[in-house]
Amino acid sequence: MKSSRWLRLAMTLASTLLCLVAMAEQIQLRFVVWDGEEAMVAIRRAAEQFESRYPNIKVKLETVNANYQEKLLAQYAAKVAPDVAMMDPGNFQKYAKRGALLPLNQFFDTPGFDISTYYKEIVDPHSYRGIVYVLPRDIAPCGVVYFNKRLFQEAGIPLPKNTLNADGTWNPKANWTWDFFGPRPELREKDFIWVMQQLTKKDPKTGRTTQWGYLPAWSGLLVDMFSYSVGGKYVDDYEEPKKVLLGDTRVVQAHQYTADLSFKYGFMPSSVELSSVLQTNARQLFTQQKVAMFQSGIWEVPGLRKDLWDSKTGKMGFEWDIAMAPAYKDGTLRFPTGGSGYCILSQTKHPKEAWLLTQWMAGAPGMTAMAQEGLAQPAITSLAQQQPWIPDASTTGAMRYPENRIITHLGVPFVQFGPTSMYWSDVSGVMYQNHGKIWDGTSDAKTEIPISVARGQARLDVLQRNQKLGDFSWLSGAGVGVVMLATLFLWVYGPEFKKRRSSREKRENRIAYLFVGPWILGLLLFTAGPMILSLLMSFSDWDIIQPAKWRGIQNFSEAFTTEARFWKSIQVTTIYTVVSVPLGLAMALALALLLNVKVRGIPIYRTLYYLPSLSSAVAASLIWRTIFRADGGLLNLLIYGADGKGNFLGLATLLHPVATANGQVNWLGNESTALPSLILMSIWGAGGGMVILLAALQGVPQFYYEAATVDGASPWRQFRNITLPMISPAIFFSLLTGFIGSFQSFSQAFLMTQGGPNDATMLYILNLYNQAFLNLRMGYASALAWILFVIILIVTLFQLKMSKWVYYEGGK
């Protein structure tokens, strides 16, 4: 045993030495992507081919499936960024404009490389002012209409065909089109809206829709297509916007028409009717044959094949194919697109090798590997028109579907990318907050869009004010840090200096510090530094990528005076905390008492009651969604009954003012019910508090109760006079940490509502998070964090002051 360990050590040493020798010419590149499992298989295969082609370069492939940007930013800030990373048009500007990405044009003279072989339509959104920062690996035009052949045939509608121009390009005018004013029956199958109408079916008895004509995978997709196709734009310059143009009548009309297709015409399920059971709504409804057509990108194909292919019969559940999205009646066709690529981080020590890898992965080898899995449409024009991307005669079985894949290539000239400005996430985050009301039919585009334009333009104006700020002085920063630590030290120990101590007290002191010493050491080593740094950053303008700039107290004054969302989030968080903490505590106490009874099988009950705290948050959010759904949700079922005419406890009358289109409540989608819904959810998680109180209940000596029973004290008096005082330290703990935690709660709002509708659930930390990692305003976020710190501190001090009710058996 022992000798084998020595042997292993020796071998390790030897191999390390060998490696060191080899490393003389070996270069390692870190390559990070956010792809899922299947794509990783393809990427790994391509990376291995790269390694055998360039034996001196080793590729370290890493995958980050969630919080990708946060990790990349942290790595960049710490100067340990990867060499090559995945990136997309919505995010690259944040890095590129701050100098974190290498301009790729410098490598374009590499022999055998030609940027013009790539679709210009996806190279452009990855460029800023003509300089390419991301080499695209795929393009995903969102003009793919999946259609159910069987339902078309049942309705007697001819299947869509491709009508091309003489030169083989798409002819938008000759294929189906649409118009803003409902169906045009005279055009029959050449009118997209008429086709939608024909494919919509209602149950004659109940009047409920049993089959819808069409559904976009997300409502913004249809708005984009309508707006772009009639010449509308959201901002004047997509790379560097100055003016918000959302108020353009054509854009307003596009929004309204999208809503009308649900509420006025009923050809399309509304977001209320969808209120997602699972995230992949459109595809799911399509496989269930509840919608006859849905529009999305080509990425739905692997999922559809899996859902519909029956390997026993070797057939699809129903025949389906894809068609090009319809053009506006004048023949203008525009739809959004997805796409992504690889960029080189400017911290790389091996730019040349990083380029070789980028060119390989976002070139023929990488793209072919991805296309083989049917995962991503190649960004190189020629590759997108041939095998393996386009099926030919040799393709069999499920892989043959969809046959009309050539439209992914034919559609490329019609794609339009949305704004790529680094400010867009910030501006759109403010701008779209009230749009939920358009999508649930409680308001219309004419009313809501002017509000969004005013908000968006105001935000854009603020962002454009290019302030000249001085550098952040790290020397004075360090000085401030030292002063702060010293102040803290003085505050803690100041009152102690004057006291004279006996030698016994001195000894006690020394022993006490042996006990608490580890914590003080940990505080100094791990906690204090980052905390002080964040306090310093709260006076700075810091985007994580570039060095911080001095901003004085402007972050604080911005929060208090100019940012409307700040006050809204304080209000929301306060209500949330003040209601949910006491309720949650009461629930935890009730559960703890219930689970403390002596009944057979109590260990099982305890475990079952704790399960929600262990189960996956995703599963929990799925359940809560079905509870809160407007259409057939459990809560509405309880209130309105199965026939929709019930009035449980008079709640239906009470809720009448907040009811939506279908006469029932869209709990998470309504401004006045969304926050109460989240509070209800939070009480569900009382399991943790329950365990603590249950543990505390074990410390109450049994004989107290026996004695009290003997004295004839009622159970209530026993509870008041024995149980409560004895577990009061634990209750106090739950209350205090409950407040601290609740002020900082985040995940429920993040998973369920993203702060909406109209900021009704914009919890403080959600705003802070968006500012920090979406808008890259870490300085401002730090200021927000320290404001919250002070609020929590005041609340905590108040609770400590009021803590006379806590009874410590062991004395203070």
Partner 1 sequence: MAQNLSQDDHYARSVEEARKSARRFAVTNQISKVAVLLLLITGAIVFMLPFYVMLVMALKTQNEVATTSMWTWPASPSFDNFREVLSNPNVSFALFLKNTSFLTFISTIGVVLSSSVIAYGFARIEFAGRDRLFLVLLGTMMLPGIVTMIPQYVMYAKIGWVNTFLPLTVPAFFGSAFFIFLLRQFYMGIPRELDEAAILDGAGHWRIFTRIIVPSSKPALITVAMFSFMGAWRDFMGPLLYLNDPDKQTLELGLRTYMALRAEKWHLLMAASVLVVIPLVIIFFIGQRYFVKGIVMTGGK
Contacts (CB under 8 A) with partner 1, residues 291-310: 299, 302-303, 306-307
| 582 near partner 1, rule: CB under 8 A | no
Please give the Cα distance from 779 to 20 (Å, whole number): 42
Q: Does 796 bind partner 1 (CB under 8 A)?
A: yes
Within the chain, how many helices (H) and strands (E) appear? 35, 19
Minimum distance from residue 251 beta carbon to partner 1 (Å): 27
DSSP designation for 657: G
Q: Which of 31, 34, 133, 439 binds partner 1 (CB under 8 A)?
A: 34
Kindly state the smallest distance separating residue 811's Cβ from partner 1, in Å.
6
**Residue nearer to partner 1 on the CB measure, 166 or 492:** 492
3-state per-residue secondary structure call for 604-636: HHHHHHHHHHHCCHHHHHHHHHHHHCCCCCHHH
Q: Are 85 and 341 in contact (CB under 8 A)?
A: no
The full length of the chain comes to 812
Extended beta strands in 73-125, E state? 84-87
Q: Which is nearer to partner 1, 71 or 184 (CB)?
A: 71
- Name the residue type at position 179: D
Closest CA to 169 of 377, 296, 333, 301: 333
Instruction: Please choose, from the candidates 784, 782, 240, the residue with its C-alpha nearest in 3D space to the C-alpha of residue 542.
Output: 782
Which range touches partner 1 (CB under 8 A), out of 265-273, 411-419, 438-446, 617-625?
617-625
Q: Which of residues 714-753 bind partner 1 (CB under 8 A)?
A: 721-722, 726, 729-730, 732-733, 736-737, 740, 744
Distance CA 38, CA 53 (A): 23
For residues 265 to 284, the per-residue mask of contacts with partner 1, x marking binding by CB under 8 A and - elsewhere, is ------------xxxx--xx
Select the span of 125-133, 479-487, 607-615, 639-647 touching partner 1 (CB under 8 A): 607-615
The burial of 168, by beta-carbon neighbours within 10 Å (0-12 exposed, 13-18 middle, 19 or more buried), is given as exposed
Whole-number Å distance between alpha carbons of 429 and 24 = 49
- Residue 657 or 810: the one with the smaller Cβ distance to partner 1 is 810
Q: Would you count residue 809 as binding partner 1 (CB under 8 A)? A: yes
Taking contact as CB under 8 A, which single stretch among the options 172-180, 247-255, 468-476, 596-604 is the one that binds partner 1? 596-604
Whose Cβ is closer to partner 1: residue 44's or residue 184's? 44
Interface of this chain with partner 1, residues 299 to 358, rule: CB under 8 A: 299, 302-303, 306-307
Shortest reach from residue 31's CB to partner 1, in Å:
11
* Phi/psi at 335 (5° precision): -145, 160
Q: How far is the CB of 220 from partner 1 (least distance, A)?
A: 16
46 is a contact residue toward partner 1 (CB under 8 A) = no
For 63, phi and psi rounded to 5 degrees? -125, 135
716/145 Cα distance (integer angstroms): 66
- Interface positions, 747-776, toward partner 1 (CB under 8 A): 765, 768-769, 772-773
183-202 residues near partner 1, rule: CB under 8 A? none
Q: Which of 130, 168, 204, 811 is in the footprint of partner 1 by CB under 8 A?
A: 811
- CA quadruple 312, 313, 315, 318: dihedral positive or negative? negative
The least CB distance from residue 315 to partner 1, in Å, is: 14
Q: Is residue 182 a contact point for partner 1 (CB under 8 A)? A: no
805 binds partner 1 (CB under 8 A): no
Distance between CA atoms of residues 7 and 516, nearest Å: 43
User: Applying CB under 8 A, what is the total number of residues that bind partner 1?
Assistant: 147
Around 182, how many Cα atoms within 13 Å sit in the side-chain half-sphere? 5
Residue 714 CB, nearest distance to partner 1 (Å)?
11
Q: Torsions phi, psi of 570, nearest 5?
A: -60, -45
Whether the Cβ atoms of residue 538 and residue 782 lie closer than 8 Å to each other: yes
Q: Looking at 145-153, 178-186, 453-461, 709-717, which segment touches partner 1 (CB under 8 A)?
A: 709-717
Closest approach, Cβ 708 to partner 1, in A, equals: 7
Site for partner 1 in 654-693 (CB under 8 A): 687-688, 691-692
Question: CB under 8 Å to 156, separation ≥6 — which residues?
Answer: 198
User: Min. distance of Cβ 67 from partner 1 in angstroms?
Assistant: 6
Q: Which residues contact 566 (CB under 8 A, 6 or more apart)?
A: 559, 560, 767, 784
Question: Could you tell me where the DSSP H helices lie in 125-207?
Answer: 149-154, 192-198
Q: Which of 2, 186, 702, 801 binds partner 1 (CB under 8 A)?
A: 702
Q: Which residues contact 170 (CB under 8 A, 6 or more apart)?
A: 162, 164, 324, 333, 407, 410, 411, 413, 414
Residue with smaller CB distance to partner 1, 470 or 811: 811
Among 626, 647, 718, 754, binds partner 1 (CB under 8 A): 626
Contact string (CB under 8 A) for partner 1, positions 428-447, x = contact = --------------------
Sign of CA pseudo-dihedral 384, 388, 392, 398: negative
Name the minimum Å distance from CB 579 to partner 1. Answer: 21
Rounded Cα distance, 633 and 717, in Å? 42
Report if residue 212 touches partner 1, rule: CB under 8 A. Answer: no
Q: Which of 609, 628, 667, 750 binds partner 1 (CB under 8 A)?
A: 609
Which two three-digit tokens encode residue 715? 């159970």
Beta bridge partners of 244: 235
Residue 254 CB contacts under 8 Å (≥ 6 apart), including other chains: 223, 226, 227, 230, 232
Convert residues 80-119 into a mask of x (bound to partner 1 by CB under 8 A) and - (unbound).
x---------------------------------------
810 near partner 1 (CB under 8 A): yes
- Strand 291-296, strand 209-216: pairing: parallel
- C-alpha 83/C-alpha 344 separation (Å) is 6
- Does 380 contact partner 1 by CB under 8 A? no
Question: Among 237, 699, 717, 802, which residue sits at the site for partner 1 (rule: CB under 8 A)?
Answer: 699
Which CB sits closer to partner 1, 5 or 510?
510
Is residue 30 near partner 1 by the rule CB under 8 A? yes
CA distance 444 to 437: 7
* Residue 305 C-beta: closest distance to partner 1, Å: 11
Report the residue number, 36 or 450, with the smaller CB distance to partner 1. 36
- With CB under 8 A as the contact rule, the residue among 36, 331, 479, 663 that binds partner 1 is 36
Nearer residue to partner 1 within complex by CB, 69 or 171:
69
Please tell me whether residue 473 binds partner 1 under the rule CB under 8 A.
no
Q: Which is nearer to partner 1, 224 or 448 (CB)?
A: 224
Q: Which stretch binds partner 1 (CB under 8 A): 14-22, 195-203, 362-370, 531-539?
A: 531-539
Cα–Cα distance, 591 to 37 (Å, whole number)? 42
Q: Which of residues 504-523 bind partner 1 (CB under 8 A)?
A: 505, 508-509, 511-516, 518-523
Residue spans of beta strands (DSSP E) within 305-356: 309-310, 315-316, 320-324, 327-328, 337-344
Q: Does 638 bind partner 1 (CB under 8 A)?
A: no
Stretch that binds partner 1, among 103-111, 479-487, 577-585, 613-621 (CB under 8 A): 613-621
CB of 232 to partner 1, least distance (A): 27
Rounded Cα gap, residues 416 and 125, in angstroms: 9
CA–CA separation, 653 and 665 (whole Å): 11
